[in-house]
Chains A and B, each alone.
Chain A
Amino acid sequence: MSKVKVIPCSGIGKVFGLMARETALQVTDKLSPDTTETVCLASIVTGDDAARAKVEGCTCITIDGCPALCSAKSVESVGGIVKAKYRAVDETRNHRGKNAGTGTALTEDGWQIVDEFAEKVAAKAEELVEEGKNNA
């Protein structure tokens, strides 16, 4: 089974975009490097065939920053099978009163939220991998 694709929005304007990006990197680089990988969202949509092939018909997890859901929308539009959609803004809501940082840099609180978020996403990825094995 191919790796589960974890695709963040990486929106540049808000802290949530940075959180989505860092969460995806944490999952694919540190927590679940053997079973997950990331793909550039823009390259999928602008028609890079190799990028598209990684996503089309494959199991994907999208991590968006905010309710605009750019990653979820774009991945679905190119045929990715989005099995889980996450939004960094929702994770931040669970930490009311904390300042996560800006689109340039996260605070300590922001990194704490990212770390927790990444664990959650990694657990989901594991679940999807098991599901894939059972269905094979």
Chain B
Amino acid sequence: MSKSYAVLPCNGLDKRAGCVSKEVALTLAEKTDSEIICPVLYHVADARYNKIAGEKPLLVIDGCPTRCASKLAAEKNLKIAEKINITEEAKSNNIVLADGLRIGENETRLVNIIVDKLTKEQESAARADGSMIFPENLTYEVYKKDKFAFRVPKDKGFYFNENDVWAYVAGNKARIGVTDFVQKSLSDIMFFDPPEIGNEIEQFEEAGSIESGKAVFEVVSPVGGTITAVNEKLLDMPELINQNPYELGWIAELELSDFESDQDLLREFDEYFPILKRKVDEFHV
């Protein structure tokens, strides 16, 4: 799910660029959860839009160098998260905006380019970094077998399913990944097939897969919800899962749909650790 904006477009009705500005705002509102601030109404009655501007990051869309939307935002003391200037975007994409006020082929193309850029940026940011607040230093319990050490985080908030996938839950969000047992069983992980951002998955449904020379492992999600971020670093460096499956090697984040129900079928550290020890004892890594 892409991040949503409060969108303040300019209102240049007498220029093609102003009409394109409005079109970008409408398309964003259709494709994402963004909300439009009407610049005319905002001038005269700002209470309604102040609330929206306070809740979502503000995207300002100016049609031309006059920058009416930016000026309005400044006037209202709004913090601008992102700015688009239609005339500049047209120039940098080698698109000529024709005379007249109707949206034509070129204008539609420009609208799509701008909207794609905005939504892709949101996805990339969500993909690479994740948006969850995750504990900086985890506390691990270690079980040793042969020369191998299997760690399990003891911190509150961690839950485990029977497929040895963990979920860290904070508020209405969760981050998921595989345990040390999984990454050691697989040995060097070579491929990561991520889940799609935006996909809604149920508890115990597949959320991507990881593959080593030994096996393909489907990541069975301990929780249900909507995928909001994936760890894109794993695409080039899947070995991060081997190095640190609980921190650098996290797999995906979700917005939870019904954790209260999901929780009944999950285990916390005290229950999971003895199970892990048994699995390790039975498995020759």
Contacts and interface: CB of A to CB of B under 8 A. Distances in A.
- Please say whether the chains A and B touch (CB closer than 8 A): yes
Contacts of B243: 67
Do most interface residues of chain B lie in helix, strand or loop, or is the interface mixed? mixed
B191 A16 contact: no
A99 interface: yes
A67 B191 contact: no
A28 to B, nearest CB: 25
Interface string B183-224: 000011011000000000000000000010100000000000
A67 B188 contact: yes
Contacts of B190: 89, 92-93, 96
Contacts of B23: none
Do most interface residues of chain A lie in helix, strand or loop, or is the interface mixed? loop
A48 to B, nearest CB: 26
A100 B213 contact: yes
A14 interface: yes
Interface residues of B, number: 9
Given A67-B239, A99-B213, A100-B213, A93 B187 contact: no
B242 interface: yes
A92 B242 contact: no
A14 B188 CA distance: 9
B245 to A, nearest CB: 14
A58 interface: no
A24 interface: no
A4 interface: no
A66 interface: yes
Nearest to A65: B188
A14 B190 CA distance: 14
B191 A89 contact: no
Contacts of A89: 188, 190, 239
Nearest to A98: B213
A15 interface: yes
Nearest to B147: A13
Contacts of A66: 188, 239
Nearest to B242: A67
A15 B242 contact: no
B242 A93 contact: no
Contacts of B191: 93, 96
A83 B188 CA distance: 25
Contacts of A100: 213
A93 B191 CA distance: 8
A92 B213 contact: yes
Interface in A99-130: 99-100
Contacts of A15: 213
A17 to B, nearest CB: 11
B187 A14 contact: yes
Contacts of B242: 67
Nearest to B190: A93
Interface in A52-82: 66-67
A14 B242 CA distance: 14
Interface string A7-45: 000000011100000000000000000000000000000
B181 to A, nearest CB: 18
A75 B141 CA distance: 35
Interface of B: 187-188, 190-191, 211, 213, 239, 242-243
Given A92-B190, A92-B213, A100-B213, 8 more contacts: A14-B187, A15-B213, A66-B239, A67-B188, A67-B242, A89-B190, A93-B190, A99-B213
What 3 A-B pairs have minimum CB-CB distances, sorted nearest first?
A67-B239, A93-B190, A66-B188
11 contacts: A14-B187, A14-B188, A15-B213, A66-B239, A67-B188, A67-B242, A93-B191, A96-B190, A96-B211, A99-B213, A100-B213
